[in-house]
Amino acid sequence: MPSTHRVPAARLATFYFCYFAFLGAFAPFWPLYLKSLGLTAAEIGTLLAMVPVTRMAGPALWGWLADHHGRRTPFVRLTAVATCIVYAGVFAGATYSWLLAVMLVMNIFWCGSLPLVEATTMAHLGDRFGQYGRIRAWGSVGFVLVVVGAGYLLDNAGVGSLLWLILALLVVHAATAFVVPEAPRHPHRDDDPGVAEIVRRPEVLALFAGCFLMAVSHGPFHTFYSIWLVDHGYSKGDVGWLWALGVIAEIVVFFVWTRLSSRFSPRRLLLSAYGIAFVRFIAIGWLPQSVVVVIAGQIAHAATFGCFHGAAVALVHRFFRGRHQSKGQALYAGVGFGAGGAVGGLMSGTLWDHFGGAWTFTAGGLAGLAAFAVTARWLRVRDAA
């Protein structure tokens, strides 16, 4: 039955905008700041792995608490404010061990808010999932605006200015957590299957395995892409624009998501994303001096994140119903961006020191190929051919 609930799109979009604005400063440029401290590739990889490591359990914990209490917004606010407070610890020291502790605690809180808001957005949308892309796209807009500006800021003010920029963005993010509206609770049957029973289904295991491998494939990209570009003569401003290009391509996907998702099944979109990831990361690894290849690689982000994420969220929403929605989105974040991201980041740090950038990116491409194989073989869902 069609939903008549009014979707608070502007308030949800505001949260996405500010959440990903922070990522626009952190994801591309935090590795450059860590390198400026004289840390090794393995140490940088380990520090960046704190983000996905905490996602392995953190989102599940916050999702369980939200579902148990029947409310998500108090935990969205708690995690956002705590993230800001703990991050301030970076001003107290710059040693590897201190930063490791700060990143670990900070990300335990930071990893909680987005899955809760994803579940809240889905609950507001109901059967109007096609509108998700236009709401989520504002997160990508926030990322683009910050990543371009931050690149020029660091070129002119130095990499140390990044610390203050991130703090300001986290303060704004914490403020917008208070505008997220609680979603109506949807009725569910008492005989709905439990989470363990849902997870044991072959199609769910295949989905999560593909998400895990896709996150592994992005490990070299998230950890060393900016460093790789700077090492090959690109300025920090260039790096900012290249990251922005990838997210602009992602925005296009989100804005046409209604048409895209009605024409292609989630399974087909996932297979396309995995195949393109294989080509993208190998090309980045072996041809970084080619501006054409690097630009094409960033445009491919439309598939390797935009199509992938939209299709994965749709399938999680389909598999985890009613009272399990927060847990489902938390598991997706934990298994994919969490465990997969941690393995990808740690793998990258080790391979980078021993085999160099080209072979590290090649390993990422091969993980995307493995995701394609798993999905093609085992992800069999009704009307997902």
Helix (H) or strand (E) holding 256, with range, is none
The whole-angstrom separation of Cα 286 and Cα 298 is: 15
Beta carbons within 10 angstroms of residue 128's beta carbon: 13
Ranges of residues in the chain with a pLDDT under 70 are: 1-5, 129-130, 185-192, 322, 382-385
Class of domain 12-378: mainly alpha
Please classify residue 299 by burial: count the beta carbons closer than 10 Å to its beta carbon, then call 0-12 exposed, 13-18 middle and 19+ buried.
middle
Which pLDDT value is given to residue 338?
A: 83
Amino acid type, 237: G
Residue showing tokens 């970084």:
288
pLDDT of 294 reads: 97
Alpha helices of the chain — where are they, by DSSP H?
Answer: 9-36, 41-55, 58-69, 73-87, 96-125, 132-157, 161-176, 195-199, 202-217, 219-231, 236-255, 257-263, 266-286, 291-299, 301, 308-319, 325-332, 341-355, 357-378
Distance between CA atoms of residues 75 and 77, nearest Å: 5
Task: Residue 292: count other Cβ atoms within 10 Å of its Cβ.
Answer: 8
Q: Residue 304's pLDDT is what?
A: 96
How far is the C-alpha of 74 from the C-alpha of 81, rounded, in Å?
Answer: 11
**Domains in the chain: boundaries:** 12-378
Nearest C-alpha neighbor of 252 from the set 293, 310, 322:
310
> Residue 383: what pLDDT?
46
pLDDT of residue 330: 77
Which token pair is 58?
A: 């953190």
The whole-model pTM stands at: 0.78
User: End-to-end CA distance of the chain, in Å?
Assistant: 25
The CB-side HSE value for 36 (13 A sphere, CA atoms) comes to 15
Task: Note the pLDDT of residue 130.
Answer: 67
Token pair belonging to 122: 């889905």
State how far the alpha carbon of 194 is from the alpha carbons of 68, 265, 319, 346, in Å: 14, 26, 11, 33
Q: What is the pLDDT of residue 102?
A: 97
Among 350, 91, 367, which residue's Cα sits nearest to residue 223?
350
Dihedral sign of CA atoms 59, 61, 67, 69 in order: negative
Distance (Å, rounded) from C-alpha 328 to C-alpha 334? Answer: 10
Taking each helix axis as running N to C, give the angle between helix 58-69 and helix 96-125, from 0 to 180 degrees, rounded to the nearest 10: 40
Q: Are 39 and 47 in contact (CB under 8 A)?
A: yes
